[in-house]
Amino acid sequence: MSPMGTLQNIILIGFMGSGKTTTGKELAKLLNRPFLDLDEFIEEACGMKIAKIFKEGGEHFFRKKESQAIDLLESKKNSVISTGGGVWQNEENRSKLLRMGLCVWLKVSPEKALKRIEANLSQRPLLAASENPLQTMTGLLMERETDYSKAHVIVVTNDKNPKQVAEEIAAIINLDGPFDLRSMQK
Q: Is 152 in the site for ligand S3P (CB under 6 A)?
A: no
CB count, 10 Å around CB of 28?
Answer: 19
Q: Is 162 in the site for ligand S3P (CB under 6 A)?
A: no
- The residue range among 1-9, 101-109, 119-127, 129-137 that interacts with ligand S3P, by the rule CB under 6 A, is 119-127
3-state secondary structure of 146: helix
CB count, 10 Å around CB of 45?
Answer: 13
Q: List Cα–Cα distances, 97 to 21, 113, 139, in angstroms.
A: 16, 23, 25
Q: Is 84 in the site for ligand S3P (CB under 6 A)?
A: yes
Q: Is 126 in the site for ligand S3P (CB under 6 A)?
A: yes
Minimum gap (Å) between residue 2 Cβ and ligand S3P: 26
User: Based on CB atoms, which residue is closest to ligand S3P, 4 or 87?
Assistant: 87
User: Based on CB atoms, which residue is closest to ligand S3P, 125 or 133?
Assistant: 125
Q: Is 39 in the site for ligand S3P (CB under 6 A)?
A: yes
Is the CA virtual torsion 107, 11, 57, 44 positive or negative?
Answer: positive
Q: Is 65 in the site for ligand S3P (CB under 6 A)?
A: no
Minimum gap (Å) between residue 85 Cβ and ligand S3P: 3
Q: Is 124 in the site for ligand S3P (CB under 6 A)?
A: yes
Q: Is 50 in the site for ligand S3P (CB under 6 A)?
A: yes
- The residue range among 79-87, 128-136, 147-155, 177-185 that interacts with ligand S3P, by the rule CB under 6 A, is 79-87
Percent helix, strand and coil across the chain, each to the nearest 5: 60, 10, 30
Minimum gap (Å) between residue 164 Cβ and ligand S3P: 19
Here the contacts of 173-180 (C-beta below 8 Å, separation 24 or greater) are 173/2, 173/3, 173/4, 173/10, 173/102, 174/2, 174/3, 174/4, 176/4, 177/3, 177/4, 178/3, 178/4, 178/5, 179/4, 179/5, 179/8, 179/102, 179/152
Residue ranges in contact with ligand S3P by CB under 6 A: 16, 20, 39, 50, 84-86, 124-126
